[in-house]
């Protein structure tokens, strides 16, 4: 795996080099000292993954992520000192297309080995996503008459936080459907992301807990690395099955549970993201007769998951992001 390092601090670069040296299948392709240099290097020699610092002079990690995803898209892992203290910057970077975030590893001290192992685990997880992304690769919706609360099931990955903020900001405070979101995000960031989305939305947003029940006008966000699913009709739970999937939490797992157990109307929405997670589940939702929507290529930070859904004819509607909220309001019947 070819890796690009973006960091202006020599000590941090050295720590990353030492951490990566333990793996013979990792190759440091280049080191950039600021965001603009990273964009140039990605354009000239695109790596499999970029380890991106957040705070740098000139062009910071957020803007560099945005420019790389526009000019030379590749997998980006935020690696910065004290991710927790930079949570808001992390969410912005993930909204621009970064996949995950981790603290810069230590060169010495009692936590050095643990921090290196955490970094390597994050890289391996993203490597699995990249491998699946590069691997080779319907019934019409029906109107439902069930009067129970309808459900909007949303899946997102790279670029998802910003897309979710846009979508939720477009929904009215009296939106009469339950909303459940599965965003590929580390459990450490889920609660903070829910708080951040809550500030963008007229609807309350919070993390989904075991045994939660979706309810009209409330947005629930998957909160752990385990998969959120409907374990009973109208009752949410978490499961580690399937354990082998690189997508955690998995959109497909949740969409399939909706098909199997949700007792009322449902709408499936697949937003920006790398890979193919959610495409098969969205197809299953459409086949059952649920309305399905995928984000269009022009407005995606990463056109992977919606592209896979389009290839399967899983989406009854393919829409630009700014139109999805209005389409949901129409489909649910808030006219």
Burial of residue 4 (CB within 10 Å: 0-12, 13-18, 19+) is: buried
Per-residue pLDDT of the chain (335 residues; tens, 9 = 90+): 999 999 999 999 999 999 999 899 999 999 999 999 999 999 999 999 999 999 998 899 999 999 999 888 899 999 998 887 877 888 888 888 888 889 999 888 778 889 999 999 999 888 877 665 555 443 333 333 334 799 999 999 999 999 999 999 999 999 999 999 999 988 888 888 999 999 989 999 999 999 999 999 999 999 988 999 998 888 999 998 888 888 889 999 999 999 988 988 999 999 999 899 999 999 999 998 999 999 999 999 999 999 999 999 999 999 999 999 999 999 987 54
Q: Beta strands of the chain (E only): which ranges? A: 2-6, 27-32, 49-52, 75-80, 100-103, 151-156, 178-183, 205-207, 219-221, 227-232, 235-239, 266-270, 291-295, 317-319
Domain residue extents for the chain: 2-134, 151-332
Determine which one of 184, 227, 229, 291 is catalytic.
184
The answer to whether 2-134 and 151-332 have equal CATH topology is yes
Burial of residue 132 (CB within 10 Å: 0-12, 13-18, 19+) is: middle
124 is catalytic: no
Distance set, CA 179 to CA 20, 22, 61, 205 (Å): 41, 44, 31, 9
Alpha carbon of residue 81 to chain centroid: 22
Which CATH architecture group holds 2-134?
Answer: 3-Layer(aba) Sandwich (3.40)
DSSP state letter for 273: B
Determine which one of 53, 60, 100, 277 is catalytic.
277
Q: Per the structure block, which two tokens stand in for 283?
A: 């197809």
Q: What kind and span of H or E run contains 157?
A: none
- Looking at residue 133, its pLDDT comes to 54
Tell the CATH superfamily of the 151-332 domain: Methylesterase CheB, C-terminal domain (3.40.50.180)
Determine which one of 103, 115, 157, 212 is catalytic.
157
Maximal CA-CA distance, the chain: 63
Total-model pTM: 0.73
60 is catalytic: no
CA–CA separation, 324 and 327 (whole Å): 5
157 is catalytic: yes
- Looking at residue 135, its pLDDT comes to 54
């Amino acid at each position: 795996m070819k890796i690009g390092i973006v960091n202006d601090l020599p000590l941090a670069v050295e720590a990353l080099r030492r951490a990566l040296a333990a793996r013979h299948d990792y190759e440091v392709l280049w080191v950039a000292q600021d965001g603009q240099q990273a964009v140039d290097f990605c354009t000239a020699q695109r790596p499999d993954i970029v380890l991106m610092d957040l705070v740098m002079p000139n062009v910071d990690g957020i803007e560099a992520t945005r420019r790389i995803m526009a000019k030379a898209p590749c997998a980006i892992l935020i690696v910065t000192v004290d991710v927790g203290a930079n949570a808001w910057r992390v969410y912005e970077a993930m909204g621009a297309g970064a996949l995950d975030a981790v603290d810069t590893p230590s060169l010495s001290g009692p936590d050095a080995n643990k921090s290196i192992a955490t970094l390597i685990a994050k890289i391996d997880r993203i490597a699995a996503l990249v491998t699946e992304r590069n691997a080779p690769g319907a019934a019409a919706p029906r109107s439902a008459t069930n009067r129970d609360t309808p459900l909007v099931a949303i899946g997102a990955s790279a670029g998802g936080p910003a897309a979710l903020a846009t979508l939720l900001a477009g929904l009215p405070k009296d939106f009469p459907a339950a909303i459940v979101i599965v965003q590929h995000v580390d459990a450490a960031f889920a609660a903070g992301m829910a708080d951040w989305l809550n500030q963008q939305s007229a609807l309350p947003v919070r993390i989904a807990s075991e045994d939660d029940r979706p309810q009209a006008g409330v947005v629930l966000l998957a909160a752990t690395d385990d998969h959120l699913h409907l374990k009973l009709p109208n009752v949410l739970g978490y499961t580690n099955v399937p354990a082998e999937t690189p997508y955690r939490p998995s959109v497909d797992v949740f969409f399939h549970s909706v098909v199997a157990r949700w007792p009322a109307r449902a709408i499936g929405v697949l937003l920006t993201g790398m890979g193919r997670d959610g495409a098969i589940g969205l197809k299953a939702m459409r086949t059952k007769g649920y309305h399905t929507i995928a984000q269009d290529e022009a407005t995606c930070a990463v056109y992977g998951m919606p592209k896979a859904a389009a290839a399967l004819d899983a989406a009854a509607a393919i829409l630009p992001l700014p139109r999805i909220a209005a389409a949901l309001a129409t489909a649910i019947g808030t006219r």
